[in-house]
């Protein structure tokens, strides 16, 4: 149960004067159950890459395997693939169309051809999973706040019970509280349902606390692919890619440079606090 991306290249508008490569020789292995952060500056090819993973875009060259099967082979059932590799687009609330939230969440499982009871059960469970209150179930999705709409849209994908959940910049355009809520929700989903999660973001700060592995994209290539600690150690190179390591990394680097004996590889605020207290001999 895994995704393998093998030497994938992709060129947009291939046979026009506007042709430009968006992905260059991408190789990745995504085993089951990982929580992965896919990071890159705007235009680095993150959205293009994830649309390959559920077969919405066909690579110009190279292959993508899901459970050891080439997904672009003729005869491969893409509809089933898309229910297994759930993709939540950026600003997913823009895709809502039904008269009430519940019906909208039913759309995915209904397209899978499930019986009505099963569809409704899944929709109910999914809405509950994203922490949506019963009282809003039958409201028009257009009357909700931005954060709530986004939850409904995420539930719309969760209701298909995907084995891999991919979210494209799920925190874009939300206020700090909304960001925090959505990130915690995704982290909880990963912990409880044991599904593979790929979280796309352009901010290290977003993912540092949660993910097992970070893939950094730069100009269509994979620049780094390692656990957060190793990636943040390259904070100078990250800056050249117009990314930044989390504030904690900078703080610890400065402390170490000033002669304090601290571990510069910590990534979360909690770990940093411990390190600093230790260095000052308070614990």
Partner 1 sequence: MLRDITLGQYYRADSVIHRLDPRVKIVATFAFIISLFIVKNFIGYLIAGLFLAVCIRLSQVPPRFIFRGMKTIFFLLIITMVFNLFLTAGEPIFTFWKFQITKEGIKLAAMMGIRLVFLITGSSLMTLTTTPNNLTDGLESLLGPLKKVRVPVHEISMMMSIALRFIPILMEETDKIMKAQMARGADFESGSIINRAKNLVPLLVPLFISAFRRANDLAMAMEARCYRGGEGRTKMKPLIYKKRDFIAYLVIVLYLVLIVVMGRILFR
Interaction partner, residue 247 (Mg ion, partner 1, ligand ADP, none; CB < 5-8 Å by kind): none
Asked if residue 62 binds ligand ADP (CB under 6 A), the reply is no
Q: What residues are paired with 64 via a beta bridge? A: 5
> Residue 44 binds which one of Mg ion, partner 1, ligand ADP, none, with CB within 5 to 8 A depending on kind?
ligand ADP
Q: Which two tokens stand for residue 16?
A: 């026009």
Distance CA 128, CA 166 (A): 19
Dihedral, 99, 100, 106, 108 alpha carbons, nearest 10:
60
* DSSP-derived pairing of the beta strands 3-12 and 20-30: antiparallel
Residue 48 binds Mg ion (CB under 5 A): no
Give the integer Cα–Cα distance in Å for 281 and 283. Answer: 6
22 binds, among ligand ADP, Mg ion, partner 1, none (CB under 5 to 8 A by kind): ligand ADP
Stretch that binds ligand ADP, among 39-47, 70-78, 102-110, 189-197 (CB under 6 A): 39-47
Q: How far apart are CA 141 and CA 63, in angstroms?
A: 38
Task: Give the nearer residue to partner 1 in terms of CB position, either 16 or 42.
Answer: 16
Quote the least distance from Cβ 127 to partner 1, whole Å.
Answer: 15
Interface pick for partner 1 out of 37, 86, 220, 228 (rule CB under 8 A): 86
Nearer to ligand ADP, 40 or 55 (CB): 40
Residue (42 or 68) nearer to ligand ADP, CB: 42
What's the number of CA atoms in the CB half-sphere (13 Å) around residue 236? 1
Element (H, E) at 239: helix 235-240
Q: Which two tokens stand for residue 199?
A: 């979280």
Q: Are 33 and 189 in contact (CB under 8 A)?
A: no
Residues 97-136: x where in contact with partner 1 by CB under 8 A, - otherwise, as a string: x---------xx-xxx------------------------
- How far lies 145's CA from each of 12, 33, 93, 152, in Å? 35, 31, 10, 11
Residue number, 91 or 260, with CB nearest to partner 1: 91
Which is closer to partner 1, CB of 170 or CB of 246?
170
Per partner kind, with CB cut-offs from 5 to 8 A, the member of Mg ion, partner 1, ligand ADP, none near residue 171 is: none
d(CA 12, CA 256): 45
Judged by CB, which is closer to Mg ion: 44, or 196? 44
Q: Can you tell me which of 5, 39, 40, 119 binds ligand ADP, judged by CB under 6 A?
A: 40
**56 near partner 1, judged by CB under 8 A:** yes
Is 71 a residue that touches partner 1 (CB under 8 A)?
no
Q: What distances in angstroms separate CA 195 from CA 85, 158, 168, 187, 280, one per listed residue?
A: 10, 11, 16, 11, 41
Listed residue (238, 220, 213, 165) closest to 8, CA to CA:
220
CA atoms of 44 and 64, how far apart (whole Å): 19
Return residues touching partner 1 (CB under 8 A). 15-18, 51, 54, 56, 79, 82-83, 86-89, 92, 94-97, 107-108, 110-112, 142, 156-157, 160
Return residues touching ligand ADP (CB under 6 A). 12-13, 22, 40, 42-48
């Amino acid at each position: 149960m895994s995704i393998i991306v093998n030497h994938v290249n992709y060129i947009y508008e291939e046979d026009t004067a506007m042709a430009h490569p968006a992905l260059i020789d991408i190789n990745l292995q995504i085993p089951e159950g990982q929580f992965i952060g896919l990071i890159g500056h705007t235009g680095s090819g993150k959205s293009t890459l994830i649309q390959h993973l559920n077969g919405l875009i066909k690579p110009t060259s190279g292959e993508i395997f899901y459970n050891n099967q080439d997904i672009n082979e003729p005869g491969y059932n893409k509809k089933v693939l898309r229910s297994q590799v759930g993709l939540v687009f950026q600003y997913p609330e823009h895709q809502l169309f039904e008269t009430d939230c519940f019906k909208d969440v039913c759309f995915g499982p209904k397209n899978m051809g499930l019986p009505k009871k099963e569809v409704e059960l899944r929709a109910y469970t999914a809405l509950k999973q994203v922490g949506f209150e019963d009282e809003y179930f039958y409201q028009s999705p257009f009357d909700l706040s931005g954060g709530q709409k986004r939850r409904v849209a995420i539930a719309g994908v969760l209701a298909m019970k995907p084995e891999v959940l991919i979210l494209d910049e799920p925190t874009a355009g939300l206020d700090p509280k909304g960001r925090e809520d959505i990130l915690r929700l995704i982290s909880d989903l990963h912990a409880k349902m044991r599904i593979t999660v790929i979280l796309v973001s352009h901010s290290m700060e977003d993912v540092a606390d949660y993910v097992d592995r970070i893939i950094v994209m730069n100009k269509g290539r994979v620049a780094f692919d390692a656990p957060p600690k190793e990636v943040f150690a390259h904070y100078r190179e990250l800056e050249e890619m117009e990314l930044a390591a989390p504030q904690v990394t900078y703080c610890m680097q400065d402390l170490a440079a000033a002669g304090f004996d601290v571990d510069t590889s910590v990534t979360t605020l909690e770990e940093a606090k411990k390190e600093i207290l230790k260095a000052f001999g308070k614990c």
